Amino acid sequence: MKYSILFALLLSISSLFADEIIKPADTTVTQQTYAEMLAQAQAQAAQIQAEKDERLASEAATAAQKEEEVLKKNSSIHLSVVGQGVAPMNTISPAQAYALAKRAAIADAYRAIAEKVKGVRIDGEDTIKNMMVQRSTIRTYVQAMVRNANVVETTFKEGLCEVEMEIVISHSDFARY
């Protein structure tokens, strides 16, 4: 009872302060034939396809322009990488440990340069039994010829050798391979 009186009071107050009278909206029904609707849908589809083709063409032009910037004839690319190598435990002397760790670090740096220049091929294989992964194997391959790479800096701390290596590749060097 209390709530119904309170509700009636709120309704009367809200009607007193209402500035506008709510009018029913005019509804107009337009009838289209099936052919008109089909023509309209085809026009919209053609417009969407044209916009998509235009966007793809502009993206292709942008990508081609970026590729041209990288491969200009009189330009060169400067690559710098860091390779790491660890000294094996069964070395005879500290000098041998240093030499082996440095050789491993140089090989790692060459690999990093080859990855940046030529890319990495990745092969993966999963063995699944009873809806569970039994074995997952991933192999990476890099195949490239690296020439004229220079060792910039070598550091050796606590059995870890780091070698910073750089290479400058001109357009003719890159296009040759």
What is the spatial distance between Cα 46 and Cα 52, in angstroms, rounded to a whole number? 10
- How many structural domains comprise the chain? 1
State which residues form the domain around 129.
75-176
Residue 137: inside a domain: yes
Residue 22: inside a domain: no
pLDDT grade for 171, boundaries at 50, 70 and 90: confident
- pTM, rounded to two decimals: 0.54
Residue 138: inside a domain: yes
Q: Note whether 154 and 161 are within 8 A (CB).
A: yes
Give per-residue pLDDT as tens, 42-75.
778 778 888 887 887 777 777 655 554 455 677 7
Residue 169: inside a domain: yes
Residue 150: inside a domain: yes
Residue 152: inside a domain: yes
- Which residues, 6 or more positions from 122, have their beta carbon under 8 angstroms from its beta carbon? 138, 139, 140, 141
Residue 88: inside a domain: yes
Residue 161: inside a domain: yes
pLDDT grade for 96, boundaries at 50, 70 and 90: very high
| pLDDT at 39 (0 to 100) | 74
